[in-house]
Amino acid sequence: MPAFGFEPAEAIAHLRAVDPGLASVIDAAGPFAMELKKARSVFAALAEAIVYQQLSNKAAATIFGRLCGNFPRGPAGLTAERLLELSDARIRAAGISRPKLKSLRDLARRTTAGEIPTLARARRMTDAEIIERLIAVHGIGRWSAEMFLMFRLGRPDVLPLDDYSLRKAYAVAFRKRTLPSQVVCADRHRAYELAKVCGGGWLGSAAQEAFEVIDGLGERDFETITAVVHAIVARTEARWA
């Protein structure tokens, strides 16, 4: 299992000591349970992400399994070169929509052209550099790139402002009648950062209420928010070290 670049237990203990407000959020989220998803390559991780877009996990897993069934060793055999050799008809037969077919083709072409970094190279790149490369692919937006950073590379300093559930949690936590804009969320986060209490009260005194709302938003969204909470924990540890 890939390792994080920080020690979760130490980070959480430190944050509890310096910020009782966020401690209640940690209590609501439960034990640190986030695990990095193993990635064979950047291409394979993004291809899977494209297939999973706007589908339930069960349906997406079935379709992805059919697609990988065209290659030796299944998912382990999924490469850009092999995907480019596969006909449109075979890809579509797996249940891939035409827009996703276009995205997969573009991803494969950019990978073979060297535009998409290898996993080893990506680990040496900054978040901004990776995002810039990935969003050039048709069908890969900033949110998908940020999910790659969080769940594949374990980057601690990622705040997915395009995520609806994050903004919903903010609204509940700070008792807002409407969803805050991305600018409002970013400004609030920067304020904590400058004060060296990153996330100190990010979900505020209404943390428990926020997580009750998050719990009803779906599996993916809850994973996202939980990851964000613990990412803030990691960053706080680094800032106060």
pLDDT digits (tens, 9 = 90+) for 87-102: 999 999 999 999 999 9
97 and 117 co-located in one domain:
yes
- Annotated catalytic residue, options 27, 88, 127, 163: 163
- The predicted structure's pLDDT at residue 229: 52
Residues in Cβ contact with 104 at an 8 Å cutoff, skipping those fewer than 6 apart: 47, 50, 51, 83, 91, 96
Q: Does the active-site annotation cover 215?
A: no
Instruction: Choose among 236, 229, 235, 237: nearest CA to 26.
Output: 229
Looking at the chain, which runs of residues are DSSP E strands? none
Could you tell me if residue 63 is inside a domain?
A: yes
- The predicted structure's pLDDT at residue 5: 65
- The predicted structure's pLDDT at residue 162: 73
Q: How far apart are CA 142 and CA 149, in angstroms?
A: 11
Q: Can you list the residues of the chain whose pLDDT is less than 70?
A: 1-6, 11, 15, 18-22, 24-25, 29, 169-170, 172-176, 180, 182-241
Domain holding 112, by residue range, is: 42-151
Could you tell me if residue 3 is inside a domain?
A: no
Could you tell me if residue 234 is inside a domain?
A: yes
79 and 167 co-located in one domain:
no
Of the three residues 151, 179, 207, the one that is the final residue of a domain is 151
66 and 126 co-located in one domain:
yes
124 and 105 co-located in one domain:
yes
Could you tell me if residue 1 is inside a domain?
A: no
Could you tell me if residue 2 is inside a domain?
A: no
- The predicted structure's pLDDT at residue 167: 72
Of the three residues 120, 135, 151, the one that is the final residue of a domain is 151
- The predicted structure's pLDDT at residue 195: 27
175 and 132 co-located in one domain:
no
18 and 47 co-located in one domain:
no
62 and 106 co-located in one domain:
yes
66 and 111 co-located in one domain:
yes
pTM: 0.72
